[in-house]
């Protein structure tokens, strides 16, 4: 289940340039400073806009240079789209990289999460987010969705309390009633802090509202239709947009898809199995190298890794900053490195050190995942992630289904399973969920490209297949390989198909398979 650029330890510089974390965020190197270009502003598209929405849709944007050749602005949106005249509003932070050639229009992007910063994605990671031909031919737009980053944002704990929430080790034995109650108490304290510190926005932090915000952005940018490239959770946001505004859907690409009909319990179980599969692929690669701290077969190595996790669960590893690494934080570090094959070297380094009693690199990986740098949380992705999911996913309370899911996870993901499940944090969220898990068909939206990677751990390939099947004109592109998402990852077959669609409206053959 992401973008945040971190100035973290040198050992993870390449990791930052090449990986996605569970929340779906993208990372890349900061682009070189570019000369500013004259800023252009198009008239907003207000055709057919109702009187109560005209104050929002009729906004004329004022762009300001914000470094690196980028322009930035803010867009005012209604807090409550069901009652836009209430007077309550939020601000949406937007960044633009103007086309280096003749612009076809705007290309909105979303890095995932939910909770990842789209402003950071483009401002810090432009070349990683989109290819050179798209940079030439589109005004590439990043935005922080409501609740996220530099937009009107969810706020919960300070850094010290966030450290306790994310890294502290429960005193009760894992799996006991006391352990569950301890975790639920921590979730309750977090939820209460979010409610107290977020200025009343929590009930309105939903994907449907964010999709409505995207239509507002389309209009104030002066585009008749939305062209869009969404990664991970961004596929759910894009599909929701197409369902709400099929007549405004232009060229949409959904990469690393989420199946909108899959319930939360099944999502968690499927992801756990996906990460076990990715971990086994990593372990084979590790065993084939000279630096691997494990020996024997993949099964042998997975058993030894399980023993390391169990040992950390019994006797946490002390870190130089006073924190202790238990099994949960170690699993977080493992997950962070499994989003990209380019990150596997750092996982090997971290596990080698952990076997020697030193958790430093594993903490770097876990901090990378959690948006933590030198004791400071540099974004609010963890808070926004919880806010969106707790409103989007109905709370499930079916003990039989939970028992079946735990059994399946234990069978299919024996290494991951002991550290994957726990009490539902959304069960104590202060507002009831308003979302539903159901198929999205987007009738009348036209062709929509769905890109799936065969061993994607965070958004398993079956979800891309499912979404492409659900969409009235879904077109599936398959990238055969490891890691999260498929476009701009070095596979020319995928890149050519995506860019031909976005640039020329050339629809690839459904089922295109890119080895």
Extended strands (E) in 232-352: 249-255, 317-318, 324-325
Q: Determine which helix (DSSP H) or strand (DSSP E) holds 214, and give its type and residue range.
A: helix 207-220
**Counting Cβ atoms within 10 Å, is residue 142 exposed (0-12), middle (13-18) or buried (19+)?**
buried
Give me the phi and psi of 153, to 5 degrees please: -120, 150
Q: Which of 198, 232, 340, 421 is catalytic?
A: 232
The token pair at 10 is 């040198």
Distance between CA 125 and CA 25 in Å, rounded?
11
Q: How many CA atoms lie within 13 A of 305 on its CB side?
A: 34
**Strand 512-514's sheet: what is its strand order?**
64-65, 71-78, 89-97, 139-143, 106-110, 226-231, 249-255, 448-455, 474-482, 512-514
Q: Which of 204, 313, 340, 484 is catalytic?
A: 484
Looking at the DSSP bridge assignments, the partners of residue 95 are 72, 142
Whether 289 is catalytic: no
Q: Residue 85, Cα to own-chain centre: how many angstroms?
A: 32
Q: Which of 163, 328, 456, 495 is catalytic?
A: 456
**CB of 351 closer than 8 Å to CB of 325:** no
**Neighbouring C-beta atoms of residue 116, cutoff 10 Å:** 33
**Counting Cβ atoms within 10 Å, is residue 152 exposed (0-12), middle (13-18) or buried (19+)?**
buried
Whether 187 is catalytic: no
Strands 376-377 and 226-231: unpaired
Residue 148 is classified by DSSP as S
Whether 425 is catalytic: no
**Neighbouring C-beta atoms of residue 314, cutoff 10 Å:** 11
Distance between CA 57 and CA 54 in Å, rounded?
5
Distance between CA 341 and CA 345 in Å, rounded?
8
**Counting Cβ atoms within 10 Å, is residue 104 exposed (0-12), middle (13-18) or buried (19+)?**
buried
Question: Catalytic positions, please?
Answer: 232, 456, 484
């Amino acid at each position: 289940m992401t973008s945040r650029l971190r100035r973290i330890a040198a050992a993870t510089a390449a990791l930052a340039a090449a990986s996605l974390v569970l929340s779906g965020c993208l990372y890349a190197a900061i682009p070189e400073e570019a000369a500013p270009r004259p800023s252009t502003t198009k008239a907003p598209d207000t055709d057919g806009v109702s009187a109560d929405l005209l104050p929002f849709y009729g906004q004329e944007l004022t762009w300001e240079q914000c470094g690196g050749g980028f322009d930035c602005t803010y867009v005012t949106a209604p807090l409550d789209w069901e009652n836009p005249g209430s007077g309550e509003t939020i601000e949406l932070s937007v960044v633009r990289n103007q086309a280096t050639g003749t612009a076809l229009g705007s290309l909105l992007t979303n890095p995932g999460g939910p909770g990842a910063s789209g402003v950071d994605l483009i401002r810090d990671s432009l070349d990683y987010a989109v290819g050179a031909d798209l940079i030439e031919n589109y005004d590439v737009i990043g935005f922080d969705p409501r609740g996220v980053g530099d937009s009107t944002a969810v706020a919960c704990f300070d850094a010290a309390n966030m450290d306790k929430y994310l890294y502290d080790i429960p005193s009760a034995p894992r799996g006991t009633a006391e352990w569950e109650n301890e975790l639920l108490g921590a979730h309750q304290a977090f939820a209460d802090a979010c409610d107290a510190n977020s200025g009343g926005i929590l009930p309105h932090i939903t994907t449907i509202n964010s999709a409505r915000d995207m239509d507002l952005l389309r209009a104030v940018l002066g585009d008749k239709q939305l062209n869009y490239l969404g990664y991970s959770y961004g596929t759910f946001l894009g599909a929701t947009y197409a369902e709400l505004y099929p007549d405004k859907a232009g060229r949409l690409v959904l990469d690393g898809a989420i199946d909108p009909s899959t319930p939360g319990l099944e999502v968690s179980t499927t992801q756990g199995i996906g990460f076990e599969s990715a971990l086994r692929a990593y372990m084979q690669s590790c065993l084939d190298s000279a630096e691997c701290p494990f020996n024997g077969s993949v099964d042998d190595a997975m058993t030894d890794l399980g023993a390391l996790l169990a040992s950390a669960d019994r006797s946490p590893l002390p870190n130089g900053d006073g924190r202790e690494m238990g099994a949960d934080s170690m699993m977080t570090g493992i997950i962070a490195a499994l989003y990209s094959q380019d990150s596997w070297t750092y996982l090997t380094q971290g596990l080698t050190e952990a076997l020697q009693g030193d958790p430093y690199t594993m903490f770097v990986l876990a901090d990378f995942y959690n948006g933590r740098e030198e004791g400071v949380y540099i974004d609010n992705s963890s808070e926004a992630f919880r806010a969106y999911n707790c409103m989007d996913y109905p709370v499930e309370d079916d003990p039989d289904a939970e028992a079946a899911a735990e059994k399946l996870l234990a069978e299919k993901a024996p290494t991951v399973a002991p550290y994957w499940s726990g009490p539902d944090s959304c069960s104590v969220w202060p507002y009831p969920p308003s979302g539903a898990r159901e198929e999205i068909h987007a009738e009348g939206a036209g062709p929509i490209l769905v890109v799936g990677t065969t061993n994607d751990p965070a958004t398993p390939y079956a979800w891309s297949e499912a979404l492409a099947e659900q969409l009235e004109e879904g077109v599936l592109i398959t990238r055969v390989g490891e890691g999260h998402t498929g476009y701009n990852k070095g596979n020319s077959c995928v890149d050519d198909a995506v860019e031909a669609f976005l640039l020329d409206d050339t629809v690839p053959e459904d089922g295109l398979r890119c080895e």
